[in-house]
Structure formats: structure tokens, C-alpha cells
Structure 1
């Protein structure tokens, strides 16, 4: 059982922007409400446009979520088209276990039926496991570290861990983290477990920066990413996240029966299987809760099931608050 202590963890890492692209929801705060609002995201219309052409569904969902996050962080031009942060020091971290599986399956089926002579070289980039991160970087000119985390149930929390480390060791000044899973036929088939739960068809995006950087550019921090933990089981992850002397969680996001929180929300009960997107979607909901003045800290847990090889927990606090 291991706990990860990030390099330079004393440096405060804050979240300055949140965006979602989840059917029926308009903003991250809607993740915590009982009913979908009017005018929520509709993939039939929201995944169209010039920037969406010739891209797999997961990449289009990710692009749709990133725009609002960058806008809220104050990192887009007035027309919403141009990234005005430093492209050389902006990293992109994607969390997705099944993102472009449909593209890979299509290529395999084509080879089976027509051999490699039936393939189009223009489609080959879509089979890369890092294609989503690549499209985000190309769209906004982000030339910093660029990677995809594909690590099972804890992938979303793991992506936030790596983002925090990139900031701590100064490999980046800004990190855009996106959790995305598309409801494609291959993904739905793999996630089907007989429970009757649906499968997420959406994405959530977060903009992470150091507190010092945010203060320099006069931006508003929405929440602080105080702690990320990964352990062999849920009980150990919870114990390490809620260390002795830490305040009880004001909001708990997870599927365990008792985390000692004032209130609890299981997002998978509402959204279905979230797979690699879960940790990032949870963080988006937690930021919305804190930004609206809700009590903290926020505790989010993932993994720890019978078929999972690990469990993860993350702690969010209000900007400037201690965990």
C-alpha cells in the first residue's frame, strides 16, 4: 500500500476554471442538482462546427468542455477563439480509459475485411492513445507536456496528481486536465455489467495553476487541490486523505457507505459508469460546490471495487483554506 506525496506539495495548486460537456447539463453546478436544467448541453448540436470536424467523439467532447474552463480562468481572448496564456508552459493531461476505442475498432475491422490496403492514412492519428490530448494542444497552441492517463477506475484522480506534480516541478505554469468518456458502442459493451446503469457520454475540464501564478495575473482561484492519494484499498485511501486533525468533509463524492461527511453525492448513480472521467467530473462538482460557498473540504473517492487494482481519494478546499 502506497501513498503518493507530490514533489513540492507545499506549493498551493488552485483551480481557476471548470467546464463540462455532459448531456442535459449546462455547468458544473448542475452536477449537484437533482434535476437537469433547461438549455443543457445537447451533443446533437454541441458537437458540430469547424473545430469539431474529422475528430473522434471523445476529442469533440473534450474540446467542448475545455472552452468554458479556459474562459472562466480568463485565458481566452474576447472572441473566445484564442488562448492567451503561455503556450510553451501549458500542459494538457487527459484521463480516459476508452476514449478512442471506436476508432481503433474501426481500423481493425477494416484490416480484417480489406487488409491494410483499405486504410486511409488520414485516419491513422485517430488510433493514437494520445489523440485527445493532441487535438486540445493543436486547437489552443499548448506546447507543454502532453499526456494521457489510462489507469482504470482511479485515472481521473491520477491525472490530477500528475497535473499537480507538473506544476510543482515547474514543468508547466498551467495544466489543463480533462476527463472524458464517450458513449460509443465498443465502450458501452465493455462497461456493461448487468446493473442497468448507463454509461457517461461526456467530459469535464479543469484549469490548474500555482497560487503564485494566479496572484501574478490577478485571476480568481475557485478552489485548492489540497491532496491526492492512491492506495491499495478504499479504507487506506480514506484514512490517508482524512489525516488526523483534518476537518470532517463538508461534501463527499463517492460510492462508499460512510465517509463522515455532512452530505454525500454519488455521481455515478446519476451519470452512469464514468470510468476514466470520474475523478475529474467529481473535482468539477467539488469546485462548483466550494465556489458557491458550500462547506469544505470536499472529499472525492474512486476505485476500490472488487475488480479495481487500487483506490484513490482527493481533497479540495476553498481557495486559501487548509485541508
Structure 2
């Protein structure tokens, strides 16, 4: 499976180049909540059909538009979106309306639609006319890598010719109630375009796996997941490794144990903020940005290990080969 393109809207801006340059340079963002600056749904998508969109949906629909080509077979193009539980703001509004309106069922239909977990994936497909597989996954900050593995299975079994996958989080009143002192709360959307094979691409996805730490030992689970995907190569051939946590957590320590000679890329939370379920998708975009900055001499035909872990005990690992010739998998 080949990653042929990526796109992101983040606190660094709505432009892909801004995200890539700032992630690679480590440019700091202002303290406090971090929205996507200058993002107005009507400016990106037009007035028709955007009035009742949640912010998460608008971000995802606009990001996905950049990854679709006019000659794509929309009947064979699918969408896989990661989420925490849908739009927290919309869920709050539905609950509030059911309690405060004259009757419990006097709720705006659009509010119910936005509160559904699969609303974002459905709206992307409707807006862009995509009739291939349509799925929504919820797995916390491991969601982005879990979605990558799900897409790999869809493409290997011939269910689609092209897939757009990623995750989105919105910065709203409801989500601002999340208390986390380790990083400011942020919003954004990152997506990838995936194809089973391509003459040119950014990276080959060689393997994705997940492990459940039944004993609560996240570090050991990360090591186990990493060891499984590295059967396609060896730790000594890994150019860079990227985790989803902070520099002093069990995940980063596990990466240093598995690939002691690899460059350990900065945790995403330092450069972006806390994006929850969108962390894995942004992690992939960040790795591809670092690889592009390294150039052919630094990253071409070399391997990258990505891991993501949830405190509840889920660990996911993926291994990519950067800018190499497509491989048969």
C-alpha cells in the first residue's frame, strides 16, 4: 500500500507547506487553545450545505478535497475516518435540547446528524460523491494508525482503488472541558491518500499491528508491537522513529530501546498540542514532512517506525519505507 499524498489543516495554518515547515523547524505556537487560524467553512466550501455543518465536518471535507483528483473513479474511492466519539459539541447540543425544549424530540435534525459518530465520514462521501467503503474508527490517539491498518486490509482485498483516511478534532466549548496539563488543546485535520500501488509515492506502508496490554504495561506493549512490524526489516535499518506521547513517557523509552540508533522525532504534542484522536494522522504527516526535508540522501529507501499508545492499554505500530520503489505486499 502506497501513501501518494497528504494534506493537513492545523494550528500552523490551512496550508500544507506551513504545517511541514513549522513541524520540521520546531516553530513554537502561542500558549493556550490552538484553533486552525483563518478557517471559515464557507470560504473553503461555499455557502450551500455548510450552514449546519459541525466544525469537525467542515475541516475534514475541506482537507479531503485536496487529495481527490478529477479522474478518480468515485465508485471505487472510499473514506476511513478516525474520531474520539464524533462531535462532542453536537452531542452536548442534542442532550441540552432534549432537556430544555418543549418536548424531548424537538431537536434540530442537523444537530442529530452531527452527533453521530460516522457523520464526518458520511459527509465527506456525500460532498465528494465517493461510493467506495465508508468507515469510522474510534481508538483515542491510536486511531490514525489503526485506520492505516484498516485501509491496508481494504486495499489488499480489492475493496477499493483509492482510499482517503485521516482524523479530525474540533476546538469547541465541549472539548475545552478536557483537562490535560501536558499540552494545550488543539484542533485540526490530517489526511492521506492511499493506493494499492503507484509509480511514484511518498512511502510504502509495509506493516501495521496492534497490541493490548492486559497487564497495563504500556512500554512492553509498544515494544511488542514494534517488534512485530519490524519483521519486515531490522531495527538497525530504521532511519527515524516517532511516538505519540511526550519525551519522558513509556512509549518514547520503548522506542529508544527498540531502535537505539534511529533518530527519535520530537513528540507531536510539543509542536502541535493535544489533538487526541487526530494525533496518529498528524504523526504520519509530520514523519513525511521530516522525510521530505531530509531529502533523497537522508531518507530515501529507508524505514520509519511509528507507534501510538493509549493509557487504557492499546499500542499500535506501523513501519513505512520512505520514497522507495513500490513493493508487493
TM bin (shorter chain)? 0.7 to 0.9
How many residues align? The count is 287
Aligned to 2:41: 47
Cα distance in structure 2, aligned partners of 1:33 and 1:48: 31
Aligned to 2:273: 272
Aligned to 1:8: none
1:250 equivalent among 239, 247, 268: 239
Stretch moving more, 180-189 or 13-22: 180-189
Shift, 1:52, TM fit: 3.7
- What are the residue-to-residue correspondences of 1:123-272 with 2, within 5 Å? 123-190=111-178, 192-193=179-180, 195-211=181-197, 214-215=198-199, 220-232=200-212, 233-243=221-231, 245-254=234-243, 255=245, 256-257=252-253, 258=256, 259-260=259-260, 261-272=262-273
Distance 1:271 1:93, change over 3 A: same
Tell me, what secondary structure is at the counterpart of 2:64? helix
Aligned to 1:283: 284
Asked whether the 8 Å contact 1:92–1:177 carries over to 2, the reply is yes
Asked whether the 8 Å contact 2:145–2:280 carries over to 1, the reply is yes
Cα distance in structure 1, aligned partners of 2:209 and 2:24: 24
- What are the residue-to-residue correspondences of 1:29-48 with 2, within 5 Å? 29-30=20-21, 31-35=23-27, 42-48=36-42
Asked whether the 8 Å contact 2:305–2:317 carries over to 1, the reply is yes
Aligned to 1:10: none
TM-score by length of 1: 0.81
Stretch moving more, 119-128 or 54-63: 119-128
Aligned to 1:320: 324
Shift, 1:67, TM fit: 2.6
Spell out structure 1 runs of 4+ moving beyond 4 A: none
Shift, 1:98, TM fit: 4.1
Shift, 1:42, TM fit: 4.8
Shift, 1:46, TM fit: 4.2
Cα distance in structure 2, aligned partners of 1:231 and 1:53: 41
Asked whether the 8 Å contact 1:303–1:310 carries over to 2, the reply is yes
Q: Deviations over 1:60-104 (max 9, x none)?
A: 11123223333xxxx14xxxxxxx311111110001114411101
Shift, 1:274, TM fit: 2.3
Distance 1:155 1:122, change over 3 A: closer
Cα distance in structure 2, aligned partners of 1:23 and 1:179: 15
Shift, 1:278, TM fit: 1.4
Q: Deviations over 1:11-49 (max 9, x none)?
A: xx1011110000224325233221269xxx954444333
Shift, 1:105, TM fit: 0.9
Aligned to 2:11: 23
2:89 equivalent among 95, 98, 102: 102
Aligned to 1:80: none
Shift, 1:238, TM fit: 2.0
Cα distance in structure 1, aligned partners of 2:263 and 2:182: 29
Asked whether the 8 Å contact 2:52–2:110 carries over to 1, the reply is no
TM-score by length of 2: 0.80
- What are the residue-to-residue correspondences of 1:66-145 with 2, within 5 Å? 66-70=64-68, 75-76=69-70, 84-114=71-101, 115-145=103-133
